[in-house]
Amino acid sequence: MSTPYHAAVRAIRMLPLAAALAASATSIQAAQPVQPPAQVRTQAPGFYRMMLGAFEVTALSDGTVAVPLDQLLRNPPEDTASRLAQAHLGTRAETSINAFLIHTGSHLALVDAGAGDLFGKDGGRLLDSIRAAGYRPEDIDTVLLTHIHADHSGGLTRQGKRMFPAADIRVDQRDVDFWLNPANAGKVAKEERHAFADAEAALRPYIEAGRLKPFDGETELLPGIRAVAGAGHTPGHSLYLVESEGKKLVLWGDLIHAQDVQFAKPGVTIRFDVDAAAAARQRLARMDEAARQGWLVAAAHIGFPGIGHVRRSGDGYLWQPVRYSLEGLRR
């Protein structure tokens, strides 16, 4: 039987629950939506590492640069636009600037040095990429230039200071003779003549330090690393053949600039070629070589990390990039 007493007890027992429900309701009303922090909008450190036999190879990003490929390639603009569209790209395509660090066990060699400050905020990230990869610019004992163009040699020097103070700079003598002689300016397009001043600014500190050491043609520069003649894009354009324990990697430099056009049409050249016909012959020969031999290839302007294989496809070729791998770092 319920009495006023029993009703009062029940009311007292319900008080904590009522208070909790009231507090919860108040909390819900007072809660504000959780706001995430601001978007970061910075890219991951630009390096990718793999083993080539006993050699450690690290691809390094110096950044990217957007270039109007429909204007630069010697190809019908509508065909260029169509091929780029198939790759979900516009005609002003973002192009990688890659360099490659090779640790042989006894040498730490850098192939190409990026653009430094010459390409603005989106270039010039090579030093950060080297550090992110676990090395210091001061650790590098040799810089192998595929050729002397601003996006390959500009990063050697900043504000007159050598960025690789312990390194010898190796580059084909023909490129040194061409780009360090202003009398040759008439041999390139007017809009490319700044390259002579760029070359002087990048290399002069190394010349004064006795660190510029040109080579002549095909020769072994370090154990397991050999220069291969690739003239055309520039008079002394060089490829580098890296070999360890039977594994081979060919560093192409500027053998190719627009992967979505020039693999399918190797005969297409670019305005920056000093000798366009020779550059086209080199590209066709080296693509055929890579496809036949099954060698790994690395290039400065193929999408980062710029390492992969080439295979025949009809009248042209296809690019097969390396896959991200952890197993590949084990021997």
Q: What is the pLDDT of residues 122-132, one digit of tens each?
A: 668 999 999 99
Rounded CA separation 331/110 (Å): 22
| Predicted TM-score (pTM) of this structure | 0.88
Other C-beta atoms closer than 10 Å to the C-beta of 306 total: 27
pLDDT at site 13 = 58
Are 293 and 285 in contact, with CB atoms under 8 Å apart?
A: no
Whether 86 shows a pLDDT value over 90: the answer reads yes
Q: Please check whether residue 200 is in contact with residue 157, taking contact to mean a CB–CB distance below 8 angstroms.
A: no
pLDDT digits (tens, 9 = 90+) for 185-244: 988 888 889 999 999 999 999 999 999 999 998 999 999 999 999 999 999 999 999 999
- Strand boundaries in 218-266, DSSP class E: 219-222, 225-229, 238-244, 247-251
